[in-house]
Amino acid sequence: MAELKVLFTRDQIAQRVCELAQEITCDFEGQPVIFIGVLKGASIFLSDLARRVQLDATFDFIGVSSYGSQKQSSGEVRLTKDVEQPLTGKNVILVEDILDTGLTTMYLKRMLLAHEPRTFKIAALLDKACRRTQDVKADYVGFTISNLFVIGYGMDYNERYRNLADICVLPTDRPESAHALDK
Protein backbone atom coordinates (compact mmCIF):
# COMPACT_ATOMS: atom_id res chain seq x y z
CA MET A 1 0.00 0.00 0.00
CA ALA A 2 3.08 2.23 0.12
CA GLU A 3 2.37 3.44 -3.42
CA LEU A 4 -0.97 5.01 -2.53
CA LYS A 5 -0.92 8.79 -2.30
CA VAL A 6 -2.76 10.19 0.70
CA LEU A 7 -5.23 12.90 -0.25
CA PHE A 8 -6.72 13.51 3.22
CA THR A 9 -5.18 12.11 6.38
CA ARG A 10 -7.26 10.55 9.14
CA ASP A 11 -6.66 13.67 11.23
CA GLN A 12 -7.85 16.01 8.49
CA ILE A 13 -10.94 13.86 8.00
CA ALA A 14 -11.68 13.75 11.73
CA GLN A 15 -11.34 17.53 11.98
CA ARG A 16 -13.68 18.16 9.04
CA VAL A 17 -16.23 15.59 10.22
CA CYS A 18 -16.23 17.36 13.58
CA GLU A 19 -16.91 20.71 11.88
CA LEU A 20 -19.77 19.24 9.82
CA ALA A 21 -21.23 17.69 12.97
CA GLN A 22 -21.12 21.08 14.70
CA GLU A 23 -22.96 22.68 11.76
CA ILE A 24 -25.63 19.99 11.85
CA THR A 25 -25.93 20.27 15.63
CA CYS A 26 -26.49 24.04 15.29
CA ASP A 27 -28.95 23.73 12.41
CA PHE A 28 -31.15 21.18 14.21
CA GLU A 29 -30.69 22.34 17.78
CA GLY A 30 -33.19 20.61 20.05
CA GLN A 31 -34.70 18.49 17.26
CA PRO A 32 -34.30 14.80 16.47
CA VAL A 33 -32.69 13.77 13.18
CA ILE A 34 -32.47 10.57 11.14
CA PHE A 35 -29.24 9.87 9.28
CA ILE A 36 -29.65 7.65 6.23
CA GLY A 37 -26.37 6.22 4.98
CA VAL A 38 -25.98 5.01 1.41
CA LEU A 39 -24.37 1.56 1.37
CA LYS A 40 -21.68 0.74 1.38
CA GLY A 41 -19.35 3.68 0.99
CA ALA A 42 -21.01 6.02 3.50
CA SER A 43 -20.98 3.57 6.40
CA ILE A 44 -17.76 4.85 7.99
CA PHE A 45 -18.54 8.53 7.44
CA LEU A 46 -21.99 8.03 8.98
CA SER A 47 -20.52 6.24 11.99
CA ASP A 48 -18.11 9.06 12.71
CA LEU A 49 -20.54 11.89 11.90
CA ALA A 50 -23.37 10.46 14.00
CA ARG A 51 -21.07 10.11 17.02
CA ARG A 52 -19.96 13.74 16.76
CA VAL A 53 -23.44 15.22 16.42
CA GLN A 54 -24.97 16.32 19.71
CA LEU A 55 -28.60 15.66 18.90
CA ASP A 56 -31.20 13.00 19.47
CA ALA A 57 -30.25 10.96 16.39
CA THR A 58 -31.15 7.62 14.85
CA PHE A 59 -29.74 6.09 11.75
CA ASP A 60 -30.67 3.77 8.95
CA PHE A 61 -29.13 2.56 5.69
CA ILE A 62 -30.31 2.46 2.12
CA GLY A 63 -28.85 0.41 -0.74
CA VAL A 64 -28.69 1.18 -4.43
CA SER A 65 -26.99 -0.25 -7.47
CA SER A 66 -26.40 1.26 -10.87
CA TYR A 67 -27.13 -0.70 -14.02
CA GLY A 68 -24.27 -0.83 -16.49
CA SER A 69 -20.81 -2.22 -16.96
CA GLN A 70 -18.38 -2.47 -14.10
CA LYS A 71 -17.68 1.19 -13.37
CA GLN A 72 -19.47 3.00 -16.17
CA SER A 73 -22.90 3.86 -14.89
CA SER A 74 -25.76 3.71 -17.38
CA GLY A 75 -27.57 6.32 -15.37
CA GLU A 76 -30.22 3.92 -14.12
CA VAL A 77 -30.34 3.44 -10.39
CA ARG A 78 -32.12 0.59 -8.64
CA LEU A 79 -33.05 0.26 -4.97
CA THR A 80 -31.53 -2.84 -3.32
CA LYS A 81 -32.37 -2.02 0.30
CA ASP A 82 -35.05 0.33 1.56
CA VAL A 83 -35.08 2.27 4.83
CA GLU A 84 -36.69 0.57 7.79
CA GLN A 85 -38.29 3.42 9.69
CA PRO A 86 -41.03 5.92 8.89
CA LEU A 87 -39.67 9.23 7.59
CA THR A 88 -42.86 11.27 7.37
CA GLY A 89 -42.55 14.48 9.35
CA LYS A 90 -38.94 13.71 10.35
CA ASN A 91 -35.66 15.59 9.84
CA VAL A 92 -33.85 13.39 7.33
CA ILE A 93 -30.15 13.73 6.49
CA LEU A 94 -28.96 11.60 3.59
CA VAL A 95 -25.30 10.68 4.14
CA GLU A 96 -23.07 10.01 1.11
CA ASP A 97 -19.35 9.33 0.98
CA ILE A 98 -19.04 10.95 -2.42
CA LEU A 99 -21.25 12.98 -4.71
CA ASP A 100 -20.10 12.36 -8.28
CA THR A 101 -22.46 12.66 -11.25
CA GLY A 102 -25.30 13.09 -8.77
CA LEU A 103 -27.39 10.29 -10.32
CA THR A 104 -27.54 8.25 -7.12
CA THR A 105 -28.31 11.21 -4.90
CA MET A 106 -30.93 12.59 -7.28
CA TYR A 107 -32.68 9.22 -7.37
CA LEU A 108 -32.59 8.91 -3.59
CA LYS A 109 -33.68 12.49 -3.04
CA ARG A 110 -36.79 11.97 -5.18
CA MET A 111 -37.52 8.67 -3.47
CA LEU A 112 -37.07 9.97 0.06
CA LEU A 113 -38.98 13.20 -0.53
CA ALA A 114 -41.97 11.03 -1.46
CA HIS A 115 -42.06 10.04 2.24
CA GLU A 116 -42.76 13.72 3.05
CA PRO A 117 -40.07 14.31 5.67
CA ARG A 118 -40.22 17.56 7.66
CA THR A 119 -36.80 18.55 6.33
CA PHE A 120 -34.40 16.88 3.92
CA LYS A 121 -30.66 17.58 3.81
CA ILE A 122 -27.71 15.95 2.11
CA ALA A 123 -24.30 15.47 3.73
CA ALA A 124 -21.46 14.38 1.43
CA LEU A 125 -17.94 13.91 2.67
CA LEU A 126 -16.49 14.43 -0.81
CA ASP A 127 -17.92 16.44 -3.66
CA LYS A 128 -16.63 15.90 -7.21
CA ALA A 129 -18.50 18.98 -8.39
CA CYS A 130 -16.76 18.94 -11.79
CA ARG A 131 -18.44 15.61 -12.61
CA ARG A 132 -22.03 16.63 -11.91
CA THR A 133 -24.64 15.90 -14.55
CA GLN A 134 -27.66 16.32 -12.25
CA ASP A 135 -28.97 19.45 -10.61
CA VAL A 136 -28.30 18.35 -7.07
CA LYS A 137 -25.97 19.62 -4.38
CA ALA A 138 -25.13 18.75 -0.81
CA ASP A 139 -26.03 20.95 2.15
CA TYR A 140 -22.98 19.77 4.10
CA VAL A 141 -19.76 19.07 2.18
CA GLY A 142 -16.52 17.83 3.67
CA PHE A 143 -14.10 18.45 0.81
CA THR A 144 -14.50 19.38 -2.84
CA ILE A 145 -12.12 17.37 -5.02
CA SER A 146 -11.14 17.15 -8.67
CA ASN A 147 -11.76 14.05 -10.80
CA LEU A 148 -9.56 11.67 -8.83
CA PHE A 149 -10.38 8.04 -8.11
CA VAL A 150 -10.40 7.98 -4.34
CA ILE A 151 -10.34 5.03 -1.98
CA GLY A 152 -10.33 4.51 1.75
CA TYR A 153 -12.56 5.68 4.61
CA GLY A 154 -15.39 3.55 3.19
CA MET A 155 -14.61 4.01 -0.49
CA ASP A 156 -13.50 1.07 -2.57
CA TYR A 157 -11.97 -0.15 -5.74
CA ASN A 158 -13.50 -3.56 -6.50
CA GLU A 159 -14.55 -3.76 -2.83
CA ARG A 160 -10.95 -3.33 -1.58
CA TYR A 161 -9.43 -0.45 0.40
CA ARG A 162 -12.63 0.54 2.26
CA ASN A 163 -10.80 -0.01 5.55
CA LEU A 164 -7.99 2.47 4.91
CA ALA A 165 -8.11 5.14 7.60
CA ASP A 166 -6.89 7.86 5.22
CA ILE A 167 -8.48 8.86 1.92
CA CYS A 168 -6.05 7.95 -0.84
CA VAL A 169 -5.81 8.28 -4.60
CA LEU A 170 -5.66 5.15 -6.71
CA PRO A 171 -2.88 5.69 -9.26
CA THR A 172 -4.28 5.70 -12.79
CA ASP A 173 -1.15 4.08 -14.24
CA ARG A 174 -2.02 0.78 -12.59
CA PRO A 175 -3.55 -1.64 -15.09
CA GLU A 176 -6.49 -2.51 -12.86
CA SER A 177 -7.47 1.13 -12.53
CA ALA A 178 -7.25 2.09 -16.19
CA HIS A 179 -10.99 2.66 -16.45
CA ALA A 180 -11.50 3.86 -12.91
CA LEU A 181 -11.93 7.51 -13.83
CA ASP A 182 -14.89 6.63 -16.04
CA LYS A 183 -16.86 6.14 -12.87
- Of 60, 100, 127, 156, which is the active-site residue? 100
Output the 3-class SS for 10-69: HHHHHHHHHHHHHHHHHHCCCCCEEEEEECCCCHHHHHHHHHHCCCCEEEEEEEEEECCC
Q: How far apart are CA 173 and CA 180, in angstroms?
A: 10
Q: Identify which range of 6-14, 49-57, 99-107, 115-123 contacts ligand PRP by CB under 6 A.
A: 99-107
Task: By CB under 6 A, tell whether 38 contacts ligand PRP.
Answer: yes
Residues 106-145 as x/- pattern, contact with ligand PRP by CB under 6 A: ----------------------------------------
DSSP 8-state secondary structure symbol assigned to residue 149: -
Question: Of residues 148-167, which lie at the interface with ligand PRP (CB under 6 A)?
Answer: 156
Q: Identify which range of 2-10, 27-35, 46-54, 103-111 contacts ligand PRP by CB under 6 A.
A: 103-111
Q: Please state, in angstroms and as integers, the Cα–Cα distance from residue 13 to each residue in 6, 48, 114, following that order.
A: 12, 10, 33
Which of residues 65 and 119 has its CB atom nearest to ligand PRP in the complex? 65
From the CB of 54, what's the least distance to ligand PRP, in Å? 26
How far is residue 177 CA from its own chain's centroid? Answer: 21
Which of residues 159 and 173 has its CB atom nearest to ligand PRP in the complex? 159
Residue 156 bears catalytic tag: no
